[in-house]
Structure 1
Amino acid sequence: MLWQTKDQMTELLTRLVSIPSITGSDAELLFPEMLALELKSLPYFQQNSHHLHVHKSTDTAFLTAFVEKPGTRKTIVMISHFDVVGTEDYGQLKEDAFSTERMTRHFHEDPSMLTEFACSEFESGEWIFGRGTMDMKAGLVVQMSLLEKASYGEIDGNLLLVTVSDEEVGSKGMLAAVEEVVRLQEECGLDYVLCLNSEPSFREHPLDTTKYFYTGTIGKIMPTFYCAGQETHVGEPFAGLNASLLAAAITMEFELSTDFAEQVGSEATPPLTNLMLRDLKESYNVQTPTSAVAMFNLLYMEQEPEAIARRAVEKARKAARRVLDHYHGKAESAAVQGLPFTIPVYTWAELFLKVEESIGSSQAQDLLRSISEMSLHAGEDERGQSLRIVQEFSMYIEEKPFIVFYFSPPFYPAVSSRSNQLVRELADFVIRKHPELQERAFFPGLCDLSYATSSVSRKDIELLTGNTPLYKNGYSIPFESINKLTMPVFNIGPYGADAHQKTERLELNFSFDTLPGLLKKLVQHVFHQ
């Protein structure tokens, strides 16, 4: 067999890391074809080539590899991603980032590049370095090793490997793969009993050496606020209302707020924080900014998107009241008669309805499509395209100032299977056999498990799609297909450190000695239920 010993898996990892599959690169789209060549070395796929497929489009790619166990419908779906982040952080070592041999040699020869703690850890284990070693090509290697076992009849059920692109940016690969996973389920009559991801264990603090497994994944949503001010000459500041003041007040209200914080057991979400804050002036002049934007990153576990949206609008209204108090207080101090402003807060759904009533339904839809296409051709990303849509639609509202609340892509649903009976059995088994591992309910780093099983209510889907300007105009989530997937999720993967840093590394003894045997026992337990 090809990928069963630690040395064999290390050699396979070295080959996979050598492919510089940075998200958005040509190599990323080429990777699944190279991976298919590796899998074709297995006799099973030489004899069953129809079970191995590379799926490609202009901007995404994924591979599916199915190993069938005759006589059973039970199937475990194994997901992973093969894209990696860029290598600018490597500096002068950038050319060696995708060579595990050279990167490992660099750190052997000059351990001063590591922290004191990392040095001590390095000396006590067997580590290799390089971009993608930890996140997450080692997890893919372990899944391929399990797939090879299945191809020789050692696993008592079906395995479907789904490995995808773009996980590090927008999960386009997984969003495309969902349709294929559902198609296989329906056409082949498969019974999906578990989705197994092998993202690595992530440290919870710099000196953490605990290995974790996860029974779910954290969610992400991005509340965004378009602020339309009333412009004026800088010499007459009280004759208008600065859009930058609106955006600043919203940021003060939201930044590091614990109003959205959650705690599940010992796990807590970090406070939300700003990812974009700027006015939208395109050049210098002495007119106050007419518009500004504030966008926030919010991680969640059990909250419903509807509750998040409701609280976000309430806080935006609170910020608007603070702006008015500030404006009138300053006007009074300056002995100036302030203007009787009001600052309504609209949702995107409300703004669209206003424009629709103004110009007609078909014209509003045409406007939405044309703005989306224009902004895409201008090279704007999904956040920029969403902002452009809201900005253009806001021009149809005559009375200013006002605020528009909407969602910017991407949206990652939170998923948790910690209460599922099968997952509880798997978690108890892991802890009993390997007490050094600890369970966490939510993978903290965002991952494609968000799209692997149904977790969003119909009510929340309507809220999200209705308040995401780019939805079905450049950004979509196949909720209908995802809702056909009801399998529980489980994540257990290799052990490493410093993902997305030049010191990214993988510990080989646990990852390629202990983990493969543990995974085999876990999947066998699933199939024997």
Structure 2
Amino acid sequence: MMLHSREEIVHITKQLVHMESVVNTDGEKTIASSLYSIISNYPYFRGHADQVFLQPTANDSMERYNVLAFVKGTKGNSNRTVILMGHLDTVDTFDFQHLQHVACSPEELMEHLKEEQLPSTVKADLESGDWLFGRGALDMKSGLASHLYLLKYYANHPEELEGNLLFLAACDEEDSSHGILSAIPLLKSWKREQGFEYVAAINSDFVAPAFAGDENRYIYKGTVGKLLPTFLVLGAETHVGSCFEGLDPNFIVAELTNHINYNPHLCDEAHGEMTHPPVSLKQTDLKPAYTTQTALAAYVYYNFFTHSWSPAEVLETLKGEAYIAFERAIEKLQQRYQQFGQLRGKSPAPLGWKPRVLTYEEMENRLIEEHGEPFIQHMQAFKDFLLQQENLDTRLFSVYVVEEAWKWMTDKTPAIILFYASLYSPRVDLSEDNEKEATLIKALEKAVTEIQPNYSHPLVTRNFFPHISDMSFVAIRDSQADIQAVTQNSPSWGSKHVVPYEDIRDLNIPVINIGPYGMDAHKRLERVEMTYSFEIVPNLTKRVIELLGM
């Protein structure tokens, strides 16, 4: 029987949207405290206060919290446990511009939008009565509201639950995942102390059309992986009046981006599904101020999605691509030097530059071999100095570490140093070869078949959720050697950030995403379709829980 969930989930969603919780602001702390109070006041938790938690994040420069709660079913004595997971934070509201003051007030925002010039499709959604607008309405407070509704339902009806239902609302999903990473040790301890047998995690992040005119509503059996490969280019500085006597690192970085950006040959395919190609997220040099000298160093980093490639494979591939780009840059520079010489009636000799590409691990090993303990101690002291700058971005922290290490190189001829400048979000998928994962696949497929007649648009399963999400941190496919390729090539590892990959491996919870459907996430016209999100999503999630033997 379908639950009549819409009205209550609409109310919860609006309540959560009204609590502005932009990532890296005090709003994350405020919403966590409010949500903790809401759950604590449910009758079940008034009698089980030790089963609801406000958990501070670890190794975090900010004060913020996760909210966790669990219901123990009374239908039987099973320790089987399903996690309902989501995040509390949103992106900022600057994109709302003159409507920023109502970005988190859905009713007021929608009234204002009626006076705006809108695309016809958006106007139709606004007038339909089936769409809710506002920051976080789609990503992902409606998904969190659906989970909260189910937590409350089972708290009121523990006799319908065989096993345990665990609710996890994490902070900081939109930036550095401090929330889910802080929750992992707690989930691991409950596995031991509470006897929890984690059979599945159900995330409720938003889903959207895969292409224009796509009417499918997607459910995902895993998630894309994400890396941030970064290239620090060390050139040879010169005065602008003698520009061919040096090698401008910006010139090489530009060739790197021309070669890597949007390159379909760098898409990763698995299970018939393809990642988006790499795209640059930042590109700049390290000159602190204007001078008439060319830059000594420049860097660029790219978003890199994976479905099957390991971090080691990505490094190997991109090292080769960087070498090709370096060669092309040198060839282009030589051609222009020749043309410049001809214009001046001269035949200049070859410039003599050679491409050189090293991974951070290769450079660091070379420097340790050459300089030993003095280098190690110096770099640790330098990292400690950087850590005193609490607001220093992890990406820039990594760049500064590589730049500092380069100063110890004996051979300072131009080079590209390749490394990872942020945490690795592992790719996750489900396999029929694993008993727990096969059980979840079967439960999901049966639930979709049963719920489909209640909704007019197709419910379609895919393997990889196409956006970065906290699903990456509840299971892992990579070997220890694969993870070592990350840690050995991440300059900030162990100081600016640490990920408990081995704890994640110990948990290895099969994870799927059943999330609200909508449009324009992270944009000012962000909106969620209520029929699917507030009726189908909670009922589909509940049916999966039941079919898992809960």
TM norm. shorter chain > 0.5: yes
Q: Is the aligned partner of 1:144 residue 2:148?
A: yes
> Does the residue aligned with 2:423 lie in a helix, a strand or coil?
strand
CA distances 1:471-507 after superposition (whole Å, capped 9, x unpaired): 1110111111101112211110222222112211222
Asked if 1:401 corresponds to 2:414, the answer is: yes
1:230 maps onto 2:243 in alignment: no
Query: Are residues 1:470 and 2:492 paired?
Result: yes
Displacement of 1:173 after TM fit? Answer: 0.8
2:82 is matched with which residue?
76
Is 1:490 the equivalent of 2:512? yes
Q: Is the 8 A contact 1:125 1:509 kept in 2?
A: no
Partners of 1:346 and 1:266 lie apart in 2 by: 33
Where 2:288 maps in the other structure, the secondary structure is coil
> Any conservation in 1 of the 2:13–2:137 contact (CA below 8 Å)?
yes
**Preserved contact between residue 338 and residue 348 of structure 2 (Cα < 8 Å):** yes
Q: 1:4 to 1:481 in 2, by over 3 A?
A: farther
Aligned to 1:53: 53
Structure 2 counterparts to residues 369-388 of structure 1, below 5 A: 369-371=381-383, 373-374=385-386, 377=389, 379-388=391-400
Match of 1:31 in 2: 31
Question: What is the deviation of 1:402?
Answer: 1.2
- CA distance, structure 2, for counterparts of residue 113 and residue 182 of structure 1: 51
Shift of 1:339: 4.2
C-alpha displacement at 1:465, in angstroms? 0.4
Q: Would you say how many aligned residue pairs link Structure 1 and Structure 2?
A: 524
Out of 365, 372, 376, the residue aligned to residue 360 of structure 1 is: 372
Which residue is 1:89 aligned to?
A: 95
Unaligned segments of structure 1, at least 5 residues: none
Q: Which residue of 2 aligns with 1:336?
A: 348
Residues 266-415 of structure 1 aligned to structure 2 (within 5 Å)? 267-333=273-339, 334=341, 335-361=347-373, 363-371=375-383, 373-374=385-386, 377=389, 379-399=391-411, 400-415=413-428
Deviation at 1:366? 4.2
**For residues 251 and 185 of structure 1, what CA distance do their matches in structure 2 show?**
46
Worse-matched range after superposition: 49-58 or 113-122: 113-122
Whether the 8 Å CA contact 1:29–1:56 is kept in 2: the answer is no
| 8 A Cα contact 1:117 1:207, kept in partner | no
Q: Confirm or deny: 8 A CA contact 2:222 2:513 kept in the other structure.
A: yes
Pair 1:65 & 2:69 matched? yes
Question: Secondary structure of the residue that 2:152 maps to in structure 1?
Answer: helix
Q: Secondary structure at the match of 2:507?
A: coil
Secondary structure of 2:214's counterpart equals coil
Check the 8 A contact 1:225/1:406 in 2, yes or no. Answer: yes
SS, match of residue 395 in structure 2: helix
Query: Using the alignment, how far apart are the partners of 2:403 and 2:5 within structure 1?
Result: 57
**Cα displacement string for residues 261-301 of structure 1 (whole angstroms, at most 9, x for unaligned residues):** 13345532122111122221112222221111121111111
Tell me, yes or no, if structure 1 residue 118 matches structure 2 residue 122.
yes
The answer as to 2:530 corresponding to 1:508 is yes
* Structure 1 residue 369, shift from structure 2 partner: 4.4
Matched residue type, 1:24: N
1:367-410 per-position Cα deviation (integer Å, ceiling 9, x unaligned): 24423532651732011111111111111124311110101113
**RMSD (CA atoms):** 2.0
Identify which of 150, 166, 170 aligns with 2:172: 166
In the TM superposition, what whole-angstrom CA distance separates every residue of 1:176-208 from its partner, at most 9, and x where no partner exists? 111111111122111100011111222223543
| Range moving further from structure 2, 264-273 or 405-414 | 264-273
Contact 1:149 1:155 in 2 (8 A): no
Offset at 1:237?
2.5
Does structure 1 retain, via aligned residues, the 8 Å contact 2:81–2:164? Answer: yes
Deviates more, 1:368-377 or 1:125-134: 368-377
CA distance in 2, matches of 1:136, 1:122: 19
Q: Given that residues 345 and 403 in structure 1 are in contact (C-alpha distance below 8 angstroms), is that contact kept between their aligned partners in structure 2?
A: yes
Correspondent of 2:194 among 155, 173, 188: 188
**C-alpha displacement at 1:454, in angstroms?**
2.2
**Among candidates 131, 134, 138, match of residue 138 of structure 2:** 134
Distance in 2, matches of 1:386 and 1:29, equals 28
The alpha-carbon distance between structure 1 residues 369 and 185, as it changes in their structure 2 partners (threshold 3 A), is farther
Contact (CA 8 Å) 1:272, 1:298: kept in 2 or not?
A: yes
Partner secondary structure for residue 150 of structure 1: helix
Which has the larger displacement, 199-208 or 15-24?
199-208
Say whether the 8 Å CA contact 1:430–1:437 is kept in structure 2: no
Q: 1:217, 1:402 → 2: CA distance?
A: 35
Residue 144 to residue 247, structure 1, CA distance change in 2 (3 Å) = same
Change (3 A) 1:387 1:263: same
Seen in structure 2, the aligned counterparts of structure 1 residues 425 and 212 have a Cα distance that, compared at 3 Å, is same
- In the alignment, the residues of structure 1 paired with residue 214 and residue 297 of structure 2 have an alpha-carbon distance, to the nearest angstrom, of 44
- The normalised TM-score by structure 1 is 0.94
Is contact 1:372-1:389 (8 Å) kept?
A: no
The range that moved more, 232-241 or 285-294, is 232-241
Q: C-alpha distance in 1, partners of 2:106/2:37?
A: 21
Measure, in 2, the Cα distance between the counterparts of 1:142 and 1:465.
Answer: 37
* SS of residue matched to 1:194: strand
Give the unaligned 5+ runs of structure 2: 342-346, 453-457
The answer to whether the 8 Å contact 2:423/2:499 transfers is: no
Q: Which residue of 2 aligns with 1:106?
A: 112
Return 319-328 or 448-457, whichever deviates more. 319-328
